[in-house]
Amino acid sequence: MTCAPDLAKLTVAEKDALILSLLPVVWQLEQALARIAELEARNAELVARLAQLERPGKTPENSSLPPSKGQKPDGPAPGARPPRKGRPGAGRALEPHPDRIVE
């Protein structure tokens, strides 16, 4: 970065020219600072949302939910017997020509 000129040695016209040349830079700096503040606020919102999403869900093990509100297991209960399979040929055969059909 270049060093600042000695303002005591500049004329009024040179000082005015220097001020006019710095005004666009000041405007850009103000715009950049406003954008930084906006992005920092958005970042804080997203960090808070991420923290909420990463929190584990409530279950009877980690909260005061009753056990009936917990996740049911997918498989059969331990020790439960599988249903009995029907035997082929067991039961009556259907009548090929019924007298009446009840609906």
Interval 63-91: pLDDT, tens = 888 888 777 777 766 777 777 777 776 67
Instruction: Choose among 35, 34, 30, 25: nearest CA to 1.
Output: 25
Cα 78–Cα 76–Cα 65 angle in degrees, nearest 5: 85
Q: How far apart are CA 56 and CA 62, in angstroms?
A: 9
11 belongs to a structural domain: no
Query: Per-residue pLDDT tens for 4-49?
Result: 778 889 999 999 999 999 999 999 999 999 999 999 999 999 999 9
Range of the domain at 50: 29-56
The pTM for the full model equals 0.48
In a domain, 22, yes or no: no
- Which has the closest alpha carbon to 57: 44, 74, 70, 40? 70
Distance CA 11, CA 7 (A): 8
Distance of CA 65 to the CA centre of its chain: 24
Q: Note the pLDDT of residue 65.
A: 81
Q: Is residue 12 part of a domain?
A: no
